[in-house]
Amino acid sequence: YADRDTVILGAVGVVKGDETDSGYPRTVRVWKRGTDISESEVVYEGEKEDVAVSGYIDDQRKRGGKMWVVWQRSKTFYTGEYWVREGMQGESRKLQVQEDADVSFFGELAVVELRSSWERGGRTYKKGSLITTDAKGFVEEGKEEWSVLFEPTENVSLGGHCYTKSKVILSTMVDVKSKVVFKEWKKGEWKVTNADRGEGTCDAKNVHPVDAENSEDLWCTTSGYNKPSTLSLGRADMKMGEEYVTKDIASLPDLYDKTGVTVSQGFATSRDGTKVPYFIVTPNNFKANSSTPTLLYGYGGFEVSLTPRYSATVGKTWLERGGCYVQANIRGGGEYGPDWHQSALKGKRQNAYDDFIAVGEHLIKEGICSKETLACSGGSNGGLLVGMMLVQRPDLWGAIHCAVPLLDMRRYHTLLAGASWMAEYGDPDKGEEWEGWIKDISPYHLLDGAKTYPPTLFTTSTRDDRVHPAHARKMVAKMERMGGGKWPVYYYENMEGGHGGAADAGQMSYMMALEYDFMWNTLAGNLKK
């Protein structure tokens, strides 16, 4: 809302052609109360091939700043433009920042998050940094004098940041372990006012303001593999060394028996020598005798970090039965900042798959499991990951679960929101990209009739509006045709639900029971052979 009677919006379907090729809004409109939406004024337009455009207000007046009106053009998933002006009237100016940078405002400051290194005024600011400058001078006059709010190191990255009335909260990761840091702008520099002790924990911490403009109150959520999610209240203005969590509000009940369950972190070595972290949850009385049913989960894309979290489903269906659960933090994610993500983009995608294979092989070498007792699972981009495990290393897995997956990478960009992901995978219509690498990461095209594939379950949803169910349907049909019945392939398509695969708790429970029982029973059956 710009005021009581005016709203800024992006909408699809107001007029023909107002969506992008990815199906998102191509125009920003200003809509006045009491008028039809078709009469709303178009104030900003993007291009048809853009991912999306949006408009919003970043009001910093209560922190001593201005009310900034922002038009954001997302040219790709990771690049775009910011056009900014003060208030609803006047001329918008394009911010002179890198196309892959993110911009926000905090009081009198503009805050820029870098995905690429940036040289300004004789200094190079590292990718993954947060830097700040005077907002009014930067927006209206192009003036800039940068200060560093956060700078990454080899093993410390930024997971996210948010604001209270006077503090900036940095959610950092130290080798993927959570550490929260509080900073304040004082006398022209950033100063740490409080922080978690030590070098992070194997529990995930999420901190958000209760009322960012008016108070220092916080919502704090902690979660771990053997620790149910807990919601607490906190304060951002506590002094260094003081506990910023002040009161627990609610915790989820323990929904599985975690007696003796142990959480630890390990590292595997990928093919190019990169150290790949993973978290492992072992059951009570665990012995490394290569016979424990082990589930390896991964994602590895879109700069998404897989941090520890409580999962009653994993606990009930896997850990209580005596299995091991492993979560791999492979390249393509954001666990070590933009570099970690960019090292698996487009033609470098194989790095993510090599990382996942390396973790699987490491588990076998350490006696955690054997090939017969190792399963892998992933969904969406993670479905592409385990699809590649199926075609690249079918010998490594006792069972595979592939959920709501991308599999046909020749046509993915023509289906639903697929066009928006070309910055991640590449453009199959460009011959040099298809021949250069995309055909080598397309499981549908890599099936080989001469190979033997492990038991595989594909699950999807008829109403998935993000990744089309055709990916899974075609893959299963091709495997049945090519294999002539010799490949144990299974398929379940839920008729409802979106990209999550289910529409309600009952459907989700059924889907999860189906998936985990398939993997457990398959691995247990392998042990008996």
Catalytic residues: 380, 499
Helix (H) or strand (E) holding 80: strand 80-86
Q: Are strands 80-86 and 93-94 parallel, antiparallel or unpaired?
A: antiparallel
Backbone angles phi, psi at 190, to 5 degrees: -90, 130
Helix (H) or strand (E) holding 113: strand 109-113
Backbone angles phi, psi at 249, to 5 degrees: -100, -50
The Cα–Cα gap between 219 and 216 comes to: 10
The two three-digit tokens of residue 246, written as one number: 């002040």
Burial of residue 305 (CB within 10 Å: 0-12, 13-18, 19+) is buried
The Cα–Cα gap between 173 and 8 comes to: 35
Compute CA distances 363 → 72, 302, 322, 367, whole Å. Answer: 45, 26, 16, 6
- The gap between the terminal CA atoms of the chain, to the nearest Å, is 64
Query: If we measure between CA atoms, which residue out of 408, 523, 378 comes closest to residue 477?
Result: 408
The Cα–Cα gap between 438 and 349 comes to: 9
The two three-digit tokens of residue 227, written as one number: 């620790």
The Cα–Cα gap between 304 and 405 comes to: 16
Backbone angles phi, psi at 432, to 5 degrees: -70, -25
Backbone angles phi, psi at 513, to 5 degrees: -60, -40
**Cβ atoms 477, 490 nearer than 8 A:** no
The two three-digit tokens of residue 489, written as one number: 């392939």
Query: If we measure between CA atoms, which residue out of 396, 422, 416 comes closest to residue 404?
Result: 416
**Cβ atoms 340, 383 nearer than 8 A:** no
The Cα–Cα gap between 418 and 420 comes to: 5
What does the H/E/C string look like for 38-70? Answer: HHCEEEEECCCCCCEEEEEEEECHHHCCCEEEE
